[in-house]
Amino acid sequence: MEISDKKIILVLVGASGSGKTTLANALSAAGIPKLVTTTTRPKRPDEVEGRDYHFRDKSEMLDIAFIENSLYDDHLYGLTVDAVEEGLDLYDVVNVVLDKNGAAALREVYPLYTKIIYLSITEEELQQRLENRGDNPESIQQRLAFAKQTGEFNAPIETDLILPVQDVATSVQTIQAFLEKNEV
């Protein structure tokens, strides 16, 4: 596959609960489509196959070519080669939500196109956000411990843009300005 020089993959990275999925959906609504990742996690009632994730069982995951995959809460998550190539065939700019390792793996495979955007959030801000959305105290403590353990409160080394906690519309505007600055 031949990809134009002007293609960009915006990779949203941050602690679980930092607003990555909300921002990814807002970017999609603003015309920057989201690459859909694949998971073995059961579908939640409000989720749609092909919009939120590609839901697969573990046996199906063995035959899929992944850019990266990770295990979280005993479920596999990953970004497929097909998802990236199909997205870049159709669009100049796409977005995807990944963890730090996934962002690094994507940048290794697509170094010219990958732009890492880190959603910066403090432990206190994250705790407040999780409490406000109704997560139970045990779940909140598990997420905070996981974020500390995996370094999610620190930006990846090769971050291209750091977004502080702010409203979604402002974040979208900041990313659009970043894209304009990068001539996309």
Dihedral sign for Cα atoms in the order 125, 168, 176, 152 = positive
The answer to whether residues 79 and 67 touch, using CB atoms and an 8 Å cutoff, is: yes
For the chain, the domains span 8-181
What is the per-residue pLDDT across 63-78, written as a single tens digit (0 to 9) for each? 899 999 888 889 999 9
pTM here is 0.89
Phi, psi of 143 (to 5 degrees): -65, -40
**pLDDT tens-digit map of 146-180:** 889 989 999 998 999 999 988 999 999 999 999 99
Amino acid code (one letter) for 34: K
Q: What's the CATH architecture for 8-181?
A: 3-Layer(aba) Sandwich (3.40)
Q: What distances in angstroms separate CA 24 from CA 42, 61, 149, 179, one per listed residue?
A: 21, 24, 25, 15
